[in-house]
Structures are given as C-alpha cells and as structure tokens.
C-alpha cells in the first residue's frame, strides 16, 4: 500500500495550471486570479459621508448645542457647489462627497432642523467621514494571484473597475460511470442485480460546487470497446477524465485492462479507507482519475485527489479543506494501517467541536455521507479513538443552524 501523502504528491506533481482568460464578473465565481490585482485608484474614490446628516467643521461643534446656517443640500451622486465656512453646515446624504471645508458629519438624529438653520445637539469631531482610499488604496495589491473569487471579491473587483478579471480557465471534467449493473437514475423499475448510478450525480455536484464544468459521458457497461471509445472521447474534449468503478481487484475489472492499454495509467492501493484502489495516469496527455466504484469511496477519492488536483489546475493558492481540532463524541475503531476518513457530524458543545458518526461507515452507505459535515481523519498507526479523544476534523461543510 502507498501512503496517502505519497499518492497525493504524485498526483499534484502531474497537474499544471490551465490557460488564463478574462471572464466577466458574472461568471468568475470560484475561479482563481491569474495575477495580482493592483488598484488603479482609491476606493472610496473621494472622501464622503457615512451618514445622512450635516457636514460641518469640527471646531464649530466643539461646544454644544450650537445653531449653524444651512447653505445647501448634497444628495449622493452630487457635489456641493460651495464650501463649509465658519458657522455654516451643508446637509449631506450617505455617500455624497464631503464638501470642502468640512471635516465632520453630524448624524441627522443628533440635530433639530430650523428655518434655514440646524441645531447641533451632539457631535464627535471628524466622525462619520469615510476617507478616500479607506477601503482600498491606489497602487496596492488588493487580491493576490491564486485567490479564488468569492462574492465579496467580485464586488470588490467591481469597485476598482476590474470588470473582467484574468483567471485560470474553468476545468472541464468528463465523468463516466462503469459497470454492467449500473443503470441511469431515472430507471423506474430496477432489473435483477441492477443499481442506479449514484456516482455521476455525486461527482457532478462535487465538480459544480468546485467550479468545474461537467461533461457527462454517461454509463458504460463492462465492455472493452465501448469503454475505449468513451475514454478517448473524454480525453479529447476534457481537461480531466474521471471514471468510477472497475479499478479494484475483481476479475471483471475490465476498466483496468482498457486503461492500461490506452495510457500510462498506474493502479495504486493507497493506505486509506475508503478509496483504497485508485488509478491515475494520462490518456493522450489528459489526466485520468480512476475512482473506485463505491459512492463513498468516490466522495473520499474526490476530496483527497481530484479536488486538490483541480484546484492546482485552477491556479488556486490553497488546495486543501480546512482541518480543525475536534473531540470524538463516541468510540471509533479503525484500521491502523490506513488513514481513515470517517463521515461525521459536528456540533459545538461547550466550546468544542464534537464529532459523531453520521451513520453507517461502509463505503456504500452514501446516505450517511449526505448527513455528514466533516471527515474525522484517523491517521495511520491509530486503531481506536476513545470517546473524548482529540480528533482532526476535515470540514467539507459547516452545519447550518435554525437560528441563534
């Protein structure tokens, strides 16, 4: 068996970032910046008011209350004509440029309107002013190359006029299920010995969530010619081909034979559970991930191999899920020869994240994986985790809450 870290290292070493292209902010979510983004100007571009109120001079409101003459009114998007002089105020709305002469905005709640005047009841010198560059300063690196864009990144890029950031292209991943027993999910009546294909919907969801484009190659039975045709087509149209099934030890593992014939594919037994059997290599230069057949193995192999590999292709600075320290909420017994990924729920109890089995831990029990928030990662050398023991949690989802 190969240690998981060795297998991961070999897979990642074979990955190259995809070409760079400019994409609109509307389609850049999840993609990684190909270069540092430098702000061409300040954000905000001008000093402006953080509140609806009155622009004043701090020295005029040092002693309160005080009555000031209101000389004009500036809504957002408009610029005051005059300046704030001693004894005067300009009525200002949130986001409007701070008029010349003013250094303070008094909230409307702290005033009383008069006839062409305003009475200031409370004020704090220099309060409620947003300085130019207070968000982003001109000439600084706002976001570094390799940053994966989240919604706030998209909005922030818009503020500096980067409407089409340069990102690494979205990876195209061809997905193929194998096995004579596997039938489409919309099969109403299962024939004897048949099961519905869980792996393409599962992989499709994982890939979409990551920001990859899914190319569906369907289901191929245990038939060498059909398999060869599909694999070659996948290698041609996609950046990565991902198959499931047929890479374990059984004598009907025809997939292995075809993969071996088509490319430089290696078959590994990785010291992990689930997802021990795993194939990796290239077909016509396209990386091929031969995932195991059991759906939970697909999930784990995706998380440990395909996800970091795709993030490398996407040019992401970070490749791995966050791991946090947790506590076992029950006793877990695992194979000490393998890195074991238990599917667990986590809950915050007295300040600690407590992990409990999300259900059956066999590699076909996908319903439990659906209930899980995390993998409890039990390393090689550890066979038993007692209740209350420290355990590493690899978070792939934080539990939602009904409210606080």
Residues forming contacts to Mg ion in the complex (CB under 5 A) are 179, 245-246, 293
Q: CB-wise, 244 or 304, nearer to ligand AMP?
A: 244
> And the tokens for 123?
């004020």
Beta strand 277-283 with 266-269 is antiparallel
> Comparing C-alpha atoms, which of 252, 251, 249 is closest to residue 279?
249
Q: Are 280 and 211 in contact (CB under 8 A)?
A: no
Q: Does 99 interact with ligand AMP (rule: CB under 6 A)?
A: no
Q: CB-wise, 77 or 192, nearer to ligand AMP?
A: 192
Q: CB-wise, 198 or 340, nearer to ligand AMP?
A: 198
Q: Does 290 interact with ligand AMP (rule: CB under 6 A)?
A: no
Q: Which does 181 bind (CB under 5 to 8 A by kind): ligand AMP, Mg ion, none?
A: ligand AMP
- Rounded to a whole number of angstroms, the CA Rg of the chain reads 30
What is the Cα–Cα distance from 221 to 228, expressed in whole angstroms? 11
Q: Which does 195 bind (CB under 5 to 8 A by kind): ligand AMP, Mg ion, none?
A: ligand AMP
b/e sequence 177-199, b meaning 16+ C-beta within 10 Å: bbbebbbeeeeeeeeeeeeebbb
Q: CB-wise, 279 or 354, nearer to ligand AMP?
A: 279
Among 156, 244, 273, 339, binds ligand AMP (CB under 6 A): 244
> And the tokens for 212?
């990859």
CB of 197 to ligand AMP, least distance (A): 4
Q: Does 292 interact with ligand AMP (rule: CB under 6 A)?
A: yes
Residue list 163-182, contact with ligand AMP (CB under 6 A): 177, 179, 181-182
Beta strand 272-273 with 332-333 is unpaired
Among 99, 146, 246, 281, binds ligand AMP (CB under 6 A): 246
The residues facing 148 across adjacent strands are 32
Q: Which residues bind ligand AMP (CB under 6 A)?
A: 177, 179, 181-182, 195, 197-199, 244-246, 248, 250, 292-295
């Amino acid at each position: 068996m190969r240690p998981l870290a060795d297998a991961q290292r070999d897979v990642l070493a074979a990955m190259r970032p995809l070409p760079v292209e400019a994409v609109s902010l509307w389609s850049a979510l999840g993609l990684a910046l190909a270069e540092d983004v430098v702000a061409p100007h300040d954000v905000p571009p001008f000093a402006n008011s953080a509140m609806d109120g009155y622009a004043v001079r701090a020295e005029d409101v040092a002693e309160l209350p005080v009555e000031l003459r209101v000389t004009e009114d500036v809504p957002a998007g408009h610029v005051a004509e005059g300046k704030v002089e001693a004894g005067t105020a300009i009525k200002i709305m949130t986001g409007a440029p701070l008029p010349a002469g003013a250094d303070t905005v008094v909230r409307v709640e702290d005033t009383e309107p008069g006839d062409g005047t305003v009475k200031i009841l409370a004020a704090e010198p220099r309060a409620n002013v947003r300085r130019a560059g207070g968000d982003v300063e001109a000439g600084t690196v706002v976001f570094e190359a390799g940053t994966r864009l989240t919604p706030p990144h998209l909005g922030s890029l818009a503020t500096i006029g980067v409407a089409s950031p340069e990102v690494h292209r979205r990876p195209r991943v061809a997905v193929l299920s194998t096995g004579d027993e596997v039938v489409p999910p919309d099969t109403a009546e299962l024939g004897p010995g048949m099961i519905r294909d869980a792996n393409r919907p599962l992989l499709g969801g994982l890939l979409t969530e990551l920001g990859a484009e899914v190319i569906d190659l369907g289901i191929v039975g245990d038939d060498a010619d059909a398999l060869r045709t599909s694999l070659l087509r996948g290698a041609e149209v996609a950046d990565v081909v991902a198959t499931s099934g047929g890479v374990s030890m059984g004598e009907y593992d025809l997939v292995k034979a075809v993969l071996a014939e088509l490319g430089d594919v290696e078959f590994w037994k990785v010291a992990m559970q689930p997802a021990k059997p795993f194939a990796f290599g290239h077909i016509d230069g396209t990386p091929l991930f031969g995932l195991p057949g059991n759906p939970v193995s697909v999930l784990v192999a995706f998380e440990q191999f395909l996800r970091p590999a795709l993030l490398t292709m996407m040019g992401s600075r970070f490749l791995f899920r966050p791991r946090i320290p947790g506590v076992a909420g029950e006793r877990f017994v695992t194979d000490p020869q393998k890195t074991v990924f238990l599917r667990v729920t986590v809950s915050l109890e007295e300040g600690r994240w407590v992990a409990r089995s999300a259900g059956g831990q066999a590699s076909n029990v996908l319903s439990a994986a659906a209930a899980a928030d995390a993998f409890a990662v039990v390393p090689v050398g550890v066979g038993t985790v007692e209740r209350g023991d420290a355990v590493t949690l690899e978070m792939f989802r934080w539990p939602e809450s009904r409210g606080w």
